[in-house]
Amino acid sequence: MVFDHTDFDQHEQVVFCANPMAGLAAIIAVHDTHRGPALGGCRHWHYTDDAAALTDALRLSRGMSYKAALADLPLGGGKSVILANPAAERARMFEAFGEAVERLGGRYITAEDVGTTTTDMSAIRRATRHVSGVAASEGGRGDPSPATALGVLRGMLAALEARFDSDTLQGRRVAVQGLGSVGFALCHLLHERGARLIVADIAAERVERAVREFGAVAVSVDVIHAVEADVFAPCALGAVLDAVRVPQLACAVVAGAANNQLAHDGIDEALRARGVLYAPDYLINAGGLIKVAGEYLGFPVEEADRRVLAIRERTTEVLLTALREGVPTAQVADRLARARIGRA
Ligand code: NAD
């Protein structure tokens, strides 16, 4: 059921899309469009079942509303998930997905997310113009991941400053979980600034590359969250901070790219009680959204770049407010976002 689903947050519209000829089964969740059309990426993933896909779409789309509001973009929040189908012809499936997006008439705008690329966006664009993150060769501004990594770095600097009264990364130990598009780009930025990297990924070749290029120390995916570090940066999938892992953390700051890092209610308070400063995920991982928003809405590249850098100041504001009030940082971010959306 959708209406009594624990992650249903009065979403405006949840659309189930099927095109058997193209092998498409997808869910588009439009959470809120009060601030503007709902922009949010399309995830292509092997879900255990339909229920897991629905949960992901509901949670991710709500996060996008909050992310757009905190980034002060004239956009609402939405997200889509495509249930991976090994039998489908990929370009045809994404084009069929574009047809489903087109039927929403611009209320939902799609872009990349986990498991999708600029090539997939090109296929979608054959059916709709409501797509962003299109390759530069086709008139777009390309993959948003580097902008996400830069925004995460800016958020991390704000958290370091708030925690240690110094934002230097020189010699700081940063544990990066997930070396995909964002995680690897983040490692690059951290390495350039003198950080000591500890890394884990289920893909061995990515780990080997980080060891080779950045002198990173590799650990198993089971322990990356628990290694002694100044910062733990979750850059894989969501729900990594739960009742089991939070007590195992050995870091001062959590600042990473993954969406929905908090597995359930109360985890933000558990982090606060342990003295771990958590930089809210949707606050610091907005760089990619800002970039695709700039492409879709047509504001200048320099303006988008400026907004990505400003993630640092926004993060400082949220963290300092939380520390002053003695409440979890995620609570302050949620409060601010809801007020801006008008869902206070
Ligand atoms: P990606 O698919 O390129 O990378 C994810 C990486 O995590 C892969 O290398 C994968 O092998 C690894 N991984 C998966 N399970 C793992 C595990 N259990 N332990 C360690 N590593 C594991 O995805 P991405 O685009 O880099 O996005 C990473 C996260 O950031 C996602 O949660 C995504 O929603 C979020 N995010 C991405 C963007 C963006 O611009 N790409 C923007 C905002 C948020």
Answer whether 186's CB lies under 8 Å from 152's CB.
Answer: yes
Q: What spacing in Å lies between the alpha carbon of 256 and ligand 1's midpoint? A: 10
Q: Which two tokens stand for residue 72?
A: 């002060």
pLDDT tens digits, 64-110: 999 999 999 999 999 999 999 999 999 999 999 999 999 999 999 99
Q: Measured from the CB, is residue 56 less than 6 Å from ligand 1?
A: no
H-helix or E-strand spanning residue 253? strand 253-254
Cβ atoms of 77 and 32 within 8 Å: the answer is yes
- Assess contact for 200 and 224: CB atoms under 8 A: yes
State both tokens at 85.
Answer: 């189908």
Indicate if ligand 1 lies below 6 Å from the C-beta of 178: yes
177, 184, 198, 235, best to mutate for ligand 1 pocket (most atoms within 8 Å of CB): 235
Residue with the nearest Cα to atom 12 of ligand 1? 178
Per-residue pLDDT for the chain (344 aa), expressed as one digit of tens each?
789 999 999 999 999 999 999 999 999 999 999 999 999 999 999 999 999 999 999 999 999 999 999 999 999 999 999 999 999 999 999 999 999 999 999 999 999 999 999 999 999 999 999 999 999 999 999 999 999 999 999 999 999 999 999 999 999 999 999 999 999 999 999 999 999 999 999 999 999 999 999 999 999 999 999 999 999 999 998 899 999 999 999 999 999 999 999 999 899 999 999 999 999 999 999 999 999 999 999 999 999 999 999 999 999 999 999 999 999 999 999 999 999 998 75
Instruction: Kindly list the structural domains of the chain, giving each domain's residue range(s) and its CATH number in brackets, ordered by start.
Output: 13-138 (3.40.50.10860), 145-285+313-341 (3.40.50.720)
* Distance from C-alpha of 88 to C-alpha of 120, rounded to nearest angstrom: 13
- Residue 177 Cβ contacting ligand 1 at under 6 Å: yes
Does the annotation count 291 as an active-site position?
no
Q: How much is the ipTM here?
A: 0.99
CA 69-72-73 angle, to 5 degrees, is: 90
From CA 56, how far away is CA 51, in angstroms rounded?
A: 9
How far, in Å, from the CA of 234 to the mean position of ligand 1? 9
Q: Ligand 1 within 6 A of 237 CB?
A: yes
Kindly give the distance from the C-alpha atom of residue 177 to the centroid of ligand 1, in angstroms, as a whole number.
Answer: 9
pLDDT digits (tens, 9 = 90+) for 7-32: 999 999 999 999 999 999 999 999 99
* Alpha helices (H) along the chain: 50-70, 90-103, 118-125, 145-164, 181-192, 204-214, 267-273, 281-284, 287-297, 301-309, 311-325, 329-341
Task: In whole angstroms, give the CA distance from residue 282 to residue 297.
Answer: 20
| C-alpha 236 – ligand 1 centre gap (Å) | 4
From 59, 79, 107, 312, the catalytic residue: 79
Cβ of 236 less than 6 Å from ligand 1: yes
